Structure 1
Amino acid sequence: MESESKPGPATISIDVSLIRKVLRVGKSLLGVNCSQQPVVEAYQALYDLKLIARSKARKRRLEGNEYELLLNFFEQKEKHRSTVIPYRDIFNISLTTCLRISEVTSLRWLDLNSSASKILVRDRKNPNGSEGNHTEIPLLGQSLSIILAQPRQSEFIFPVNPRSVTAGFQRACKKLGITDLRYHDLRREAATRLIELGYTVEEVATVTGHKDLKILWQVYTRITPEHLLKKNINFV
């Protein structure tokens, strides 16, 4: 019997933050006489004991022939009648739009402007709240053709559960021997590809939805030495 994996310090840190938030609003919202101060005072000790820690910035991108391996795997998977999720198209749309998987599966036919090659993305994740944070993004590359190829089965273009997509993606990685690759890493891959193609950070931000360009630079873009070598810049 396999032992269950224990949550890491970064995960526990999130849990502690949630406990603190509940205690902070407990009196005003629930009428409970409580205080967040004990949690605040415990933070330094928890950090010193390494029981909690800040999450490390991810740098993983698609490497080598991983894109081709995954694409071929999804193509074979979709040949089975039991497969109802268009993994290939969702995989590619994630790489051409920089959207989170929850945003991809929330795209609606009503919000598509095919003549202008753009689409409205509703309730995008935002530090100040996602509700009502709608942004319109350009459909670059093959995005529009992928969308138009989908059957109109409901109001959503990709009417599937995002968790099912990520679970299927992880199963594919495991079978292919691809390690330490998460579905959300595709968002970084997509953003960095646009930078490498010559788009400015400001232009990429209109696609990713970032308001803070520093975050886009530090977290979602990772220019590799190999890319710079390909440009073969002559400094002489």
Structure 2
Amino acid sequence: VGRTKAQVLKAIKNYDISNMPCSSIKSKDIVEFLQSLTAKPQTVGNYASHLAAIFAIARPMWGYRLDEQEIKDAVNVARRMGIISRSAQRDRRPTLDELDRLIRHFIERRKKVPQAMPMHKVIAFALFSTRRQEEITRIRWKDFQREQKRVLVRDMKHPGEKIGNHTWVDLPDQALQIIGSMPKSKAEIFPYSTDAISANFTRACKLLDIDDLRFHDLRHEGISRLFEMGWNIPHVAAVSGHRSWISLKRYTHIRETGDKYAGWHGLQLVIDTK
């Protein structure tokens, strides 16, 4: 279970609906619960989404008598009433200057504290591989095929399934170089926790006065970069892991402008610094 989903499910335990018998929970109860949340429609939508995932597997997997149709009906009603809505798509992309500052910051910290996480490598790998934060921490050395330039991403995020959704993805040359600079000290290539990565990134952005940049924006930047280089949707999907090309259509308006990271000195710094 991802960190955000775990937080949402833990929060739901504080509401009356969590004490109701499973078989008695109806769409009306779910709608009332969603209405009681003092949050933006996008945030309430996240609650509904995570709750729906539980309804989908509770009966077939654990034998709990939760009716999946009730949550579906509740979501339809909540959407029509404006209680929930989809999260707005983010278009925030880091500038080269922002990335340079982040890379230098973490390299300097690594020099002062050698045991510190090599965040400069994690950031660069996220960008060039287009991998999500939780996927990066699950990649294992045994799942890395250097000659084939690919890696197996275990339990890749997917709307319909996550557990067991292991997917082979292609690795751009820059991502291969970064992996090549990592020590084989543990089973995972990046043996770090998602909480630590998130905390380090957020703290650094605040310290460096980098506004409204999230770690996930690095994936958006990496995918945008591939389209700017002239890659087609199937080629990009082989890297990003998207099963549905519809999700990548938001990038098709991007004009081919070449690779702004060609000759980027920050990459060499990442590779050369432990």
Same fold, judged at TM 0.5 (above): yes
Corresponding residue for 1:43?
78
Distance 1:166 1:65 in 2: 20
8 Å Cα contact 1:120/1:137 also seen in 2: yes
Seq. identity, %: 32
User: Larger helix proportion, structure 1 or 2?
Assistant: 2
Superposition CA RMSD, Å? 3.1
Residue in structure 1 matching 2:116, options 74, 84, 89? 84
User: What's the secondary structure of 1:84's corresponding residue?
Assistant: coil
Corresponding residue for 2:97?
65
Residue in structure 2 matching 1:223, options 250, 254, 257? 254
**Mind listing any 5+ residue stretches in structure 1 that lack a counterpart?**
1-5, 231-236
Distance 2:127 2:44 in 1: 31
- The one-letter code of the counterpart of 2:254 is I
8 Å Cα contact 1:70/1:172 also seen in 2: yes
Distance 2:148 2:76 in 1: 55
Map 1:196-207 → 2, pairs under 5 A = 196-207=228-239
TM-score scaled by structure 1?
A: 0.79
User: What's the secondary structure of 1:120's corresponding residue?
Assistant: strand
Residue in structure 2 matching 1:94, options 121, 126, 132? 126
Could you report, residue by residue, the CA deviation over 1:117-174 in whole angstroms, capped at 9, with x for unpaired residues? 3222222112221233222223212222221221222111110001211111111111
Corresponding residue for 2:206?
174
Q: Give the CA deviation at 1:182.
A: 0.8
8 Å Cα contact 2:153/2:166 also seen in 1: yes
**Mind listing any 5+ residue stretches in structure 2 that lack a counterpart?**
1-37, 261-274
Distance 2:208 2:118 in 1: 19
Distance 1:192 1:104 in 2: 19
- Does the C-alpha gap of structure 1 residues 145 and 40 become closer, same or farther in structure 2, counting only changes over 3 Å? closer
- Does the C-alpha gap of structure 1 residues 222 and 185 become closer, same or farther in structure 2, counting only changes over 3 Å? farther
Instruction: Report the number of matched residues.
Output: 219
- The one-letter code of the counterpart of 1:211 is R
Q: Give the CA deviation at 1:71.
A: 1.1
Q: Give the CA deviation at 1:206.
A: 0.5
Map 1:1-236 → 2, pairs under 5 A = 7-19=39-51, 29-31=63-65, 36=70, 39=74, 42-43=77-78, 46-47=81-82, 51-63=83-95, 65-81=97-113, 83-218=115-250, 223=254, 227=257
8 Å Cα contact 1:192/1:221 also seen in 2: no
TM-score scaled by structure 2?
A: 0.69
